[in-house]
């Protein structure tokens, strides 16, 4: 056969594959109904393993891996279809609960609002809040949980908190509090972080014996601190570290903080931009007590707990792949008190209300032990 004849033959095969593929997916509701009538679980891992084992035995040795991969993806798509049908039977599936919080298309993100931040004036959270809201009324709290409590109790409408740094990774305490309080993320900001070494006027760099800052800032400047050969001491916030240095009688301490702290606390910058990486960004999120999605939201944050067994993460990633959803973050974290069990943070890009978005929210239960939907939002720079 010449090339044109081969291509025609391939096209005929592909047409048959498309027809058979649709026929197979059309059977998904019948499978669900039959299992519901029999009182059997909808998803049967044993059946899936037996099916793949039979395919492996029937496949030629040199094509075994390809066929296993193909049928694994095919069965995953079939499970998606079954989940979609189950969601249609459910009066309140996760996707519908999420869509019900979507505001009208002409709704605008607030220009001014009462905002809770952790730290004091000059903290990076305050800088982020001032970028996220044009005219925020900011109240400061000592801890991350203080911010959550302020929003919970109605003292503030919103909270602004750091959730991830490009160098130090996720801020696990914020994720834990999001899950505990069941709050939602409604917007995020990627803020360039430039740490500065500051001290009281007249202090010389060579006199410094101790550097104080938040643990994330210390981690982001670890190489610089090591090169100085000084002690690193943690503070609850970078701006609070600057405030402490300004009020201290010692002349051998310095803080790592934002440039704005220089004027706020009458300090001098001994060295600028001391972070180890020039590409140092922190993502800040706006949290609310009541779930709401503003128009234009295309980023979604999830936390999944997966079973400790081979292939558990692969099945989740396969689900994203089958739905053609782009992952922009995947980070694992051990679950405290559970040996070798992990939770995973996922951020994905997918327009809210799209079919892949709706299907994903309704089809995660069969590939993870549990998951938490933190909200959908727009990220600004």
What is the domain count for the chain?
2
- Residue 62 is part of a domain; what is its CATH number? 1.20.59.10
- Residue at 107 is within a domain: no
Q: Give the active site residue among 140, 141, 183, 282.
A: 282
Say which residues have a Cβ less than 8 Å from residue 313's Cβ, sequence separation at least 6.
306, 344
Of 271, 304, 326, the position where a domain reaches its end is 271
Last residue of a domain, one of 211, 244, 271: 271
Catalytic residue among 133, 140, 284, 374: 284
Q: Is residue 15 part of a domain?
A: yes
Residue 239: which CATH number? 3.40.190.10
Query: Of 89, 112, 140, which residue constitutes the final position of a domain?
Result: 89
Model pLDDT, residue 357: 92
- In this prediction, residue 310 carries a pLDDT of 75
**Do the domain assignments include residue 137?**
no
**Partners of residue 373 on adjacent β-strands:** 302
User: Residue 133 catalytic?
Assistant: no
* Structural domain contains residue 101: no
Is 203 among the domain residues? Answer: yes
**What is residue 48's predicted lDDT score, i.e. its pLDDT?**
83
Residue 157 lies in a domain: no
Clarify whether 357 is annotated catalytic. no
Instruction: Name the residue range of residue 259's domain.
Output: 196-271
* Measured distance CA(161)–CA(144) in Å, rounded: 7
pLDDT of the residue at 98: 87
In a domain, residue 112? The reply is: no
Q: Is residue 206 part of a domain?
A: yes
Q: What is the pLDDT of residue 338?
A: 64
Q: Do residues 197 and 271 touch, judged by C-beta distance below 8 A?
A: yes
- Alpha helices (H) in the chain, listed in sequence order: 3-26, 28-38, 45-58, 64-89, 94-99, 124-132, 144-152, 172-181, 215-220, 222-228, 238-247, 260-264, 312-322, 355-362
Query: Do residues 238 and 256 make contact, with C-beta atoms less than 8 angstroms apart?
Result: yes
pTM for this predicted structure: 0.78
Spell out the per-residue pLDDT of the chain, length 381, in tens.
888 888 999 999 999 999 999 999 999 889 888 888 888 877 777 888 888 889 889 889 899 989 988 888 888 888 888 877 877 777 677 888 888 899 998 999 999 999 999 988 999 999 999 999 999 999 999 999 999 999 999 999 999 999 998 877 888 899 999 999 999 999 999 999 899 999 999 999 999 999 999 988 999 999 999 999 999 999 988 999 999 999 999 989 999 999 999 999 999 999 999 998 888 899 999 999 999 999 999 999 999 988 777 778 888 888 898 889 999 999 988 776 666 677 899 999 999 989 899 888 888 877 788 889 999 999 998
């Amino acid at each position: 056969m010449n090339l044109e004849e081969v291509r025609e033959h391939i096209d005929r095969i592909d047409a048959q594959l498309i027809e058979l593929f649709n026929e197979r997916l059309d059977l998904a509701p019948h499978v669900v109904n039959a299992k519901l009538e029999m009182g059997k679980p909808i998803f049967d891992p044993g059946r899936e393993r037996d099916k793949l084992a039979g395919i492996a035995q029937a496949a030629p040795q040199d094509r075994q891996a390809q066929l296993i991969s193909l049928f694994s993806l095919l069965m995953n798509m079939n499970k998606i279809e079954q989940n979609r049908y189950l969601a249609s039977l459910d009066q309140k599936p996760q996707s519908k609960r999420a869509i019900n919080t979507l505001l009208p298309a002409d709704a605008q993100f607030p220009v001014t609002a009462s905002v809770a931040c952790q730290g004091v004036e000059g903290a990076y959270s305050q800088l982020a809040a001032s970028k996220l809201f044009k005219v925020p009324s900011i109240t400061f709290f000592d801890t991350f949980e203080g911010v959550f409590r302020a929003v919970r109790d109605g003292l503030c409408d919103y909270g602004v908190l750091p959730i991830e740094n490009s160098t130090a990774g996720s801020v696990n305490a914020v994720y834990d509090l999001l899950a505990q309080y069941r709050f939602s993320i409604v917007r995020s900001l990627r803020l360039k972080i430039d740490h500065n070494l500051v001290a009281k006027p007249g202090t010389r760099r060579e006199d410094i014996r101790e550097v104080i800052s938040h643990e994330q800032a210390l981690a982001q400047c670890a190489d610089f601190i090591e090169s100085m050969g000084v002690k690193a001491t943690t503070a609850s916030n970078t701006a609070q570290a600057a405030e402490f240095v300004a009020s201290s009688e010692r002349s051998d301490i310095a803080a790592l903080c934002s440039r704005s702290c220089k004027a706020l606390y009458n300090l001098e910058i001994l060295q600028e931009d001391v972070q180890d990486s020039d590409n140092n960004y922190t993502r800040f999120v706006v949290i609310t007590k009541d779930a709401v999605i503003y128009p234009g939201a295309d980023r979604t944050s999830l936390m999944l707990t997966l079973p400790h067994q081979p292939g558990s993460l692969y099945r989740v990633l396969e689900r994203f792949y089958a739905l053609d959803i782009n992952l922009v973050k995947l980070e694992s974290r051990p679950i405290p008190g559970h040996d070798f069990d992990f939770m995973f943070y996922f951020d994905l890009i997918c327009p809210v209300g799209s079919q892949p978005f709706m299907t994903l929210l309704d089809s995660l239960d069969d590939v993870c032990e549990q998951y938490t939907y933190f909200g959908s939002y727009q990220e600004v720079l």
